[in-house]
Amino acid sequence: MAPISVKSVLISESVDPRCRTVLEENGIRVTEKQNMTKDALMAEIRDYDGLVVRSATKVTADVINAADNLKIIGRAGTGVDNVDVVAATRKGIIVMNTPSGNTISAAELTCALLMSLSRQVDLFSEMCLKKKVTFWFFMGAELYGKVLGIVGLGRIGKEVASRMQSFGMRTIGYDPITPPEVSASWGVEQMQLEQLWPQCDYITVHTPLMPSTVGLLNDESFAKCKKGVKVVNCARGGIIDEDALLRALESGQCGGAGLDVFVEEPPKNRPLVDHPNVISCPHLGASTKEAQARCGEDIALQIVDMVKGKNLVGA
């Protein structure tokens, strides 16, 4: 592709310092300004050729339309949900992400939640802190021999599968795009959701949030699951319907949930977050030193590649 001139980049969030270093080493002027209001961002963005964000900056159509020079929006992370890609495309602005930089970290947090759900590590840690350690009679359950359903067999789903197989779990899954023979080569037997729900002891979702995945786990699907099924969502809030999940937790149809993401963040659904069988995290899937270093460096290198006219990757 033809080289594109990018002389200045605004980084509007806490992005790993490698991002700034790589851009500056390649002659790009970098300004870092965090926690801007929408109006402040709209005023500031006029001057820049590039914008780098994580997930807190809402790059709406208003922001995009206020940007006279903008040529590139770089998302140091996977989802581009916080960027109005249609408005950007209409203005000829390229939107890029770093789709694999935080895959391992998100997969590891998913595994941590699966393990915590099986032994209620969070609850007992709290008990110990409060010196109420009389729950020695609590019985956890081994993951060994249990069935894990993985809905969404992309980058993260695949990494979760191999890690949980090492605990002796049987992994089954569903994905409309990943061919069954491909997932079979990494030990995941694919089937339709109707067949998958009743077999699972644990279910984890790893799809994007889009109309076909909103409420993928809902009252109807919970009813088809084994009583006491445990679920994890480290993907996007809303893939598991929050009201249906709360109903399933209250009836015992769902035995526990590990949630890193919510429909509203920070979560406002207190009955769900406060439920004793729910382990909640404040969207920490990508929050490791390693993932942030990769995403920060990757997005900077991709912008530099664009300036040099090399092939582009990402959204």
Catalytic residue set: 236, 265, 283
Applying CB under 6 A, among 79, 180, 215, 238 the residue interacting with ligand NAD is 79
Q: Is 175 in the site for ligand NAD (CB under 6 A)?
A: yes
Nearer to ligand MLT, 43 or 214 (CB): 214
Nearer to ligand NAD, 67 or 156 (CB): 156
Q: Is 75 in the site for ligand NAD (CB under 6 A)?
A: no
116's contact among ligand NAD, ligand MLT, none, with CB below 5 to 8 A by partner kind, is none
Point out which span in 26-34, 61-69, 137-145, 202-210 binds ligand NAD (CB under 6 A).
202-210
Q: Closest residue (Cβ) to ligand NAD?
A: 154
Q: Which residues bind ligand MLT (CB under 6 A)?
A: 54-55, 77-79, 102, 285-286
- Written in H, E and C, the secondary structure of the chain is CCCCCCCEEEECCCCCHHHHHHHHHCCCEEEECCCCCHHHHHHHHHHCCEEEECCCCCECHHHHHCCCCCCEEEECCCCCCCECHHHHHHCCCEEEECCCCCHHHHHHHHHHHHHHHHHCHHHHHHHHHCCCCCHHHCCCCCCCCCEEEEECCCHHHHHHHHHHHCCCCEEEEECCCCCHHHHHHCCEEECCHHHHHHHCCEEEECCCCCCCCCCCECHHHHHHCCCCEEEEECCCCCCECHHHHHHHHHHCCEEEEEECCCCCCCCCCHHHHCCCCEEECCCCCCCCHHHHHHHHHHHHHHHHHHHCCCCCCCC
187's contact among ligand NAD, ligand MLT, none, with CB below 5 to 8 A by partner kind, is none
103's contact among ligand MLT, ligand NAD, none, with CB below 5 to 8 A by partner kind, is ligand NAD
Which x/- pattern, by CB under 6 A, does the window 103-132 give for ligand NAD?
Answer: x--x--------------------------
Q: Is 45 in the site for ligand NAD (CB under 6 A)?
A: no
Nearer to ligand MLT, 102 or 233 (CB): 102
Interface residues toward ligand NAD, by CB under 6 A: 78-79, 99, 102-103, 106, 151-157, 174-178, 206-209, 212-213, 234-236, 260-261, 283, 285-286
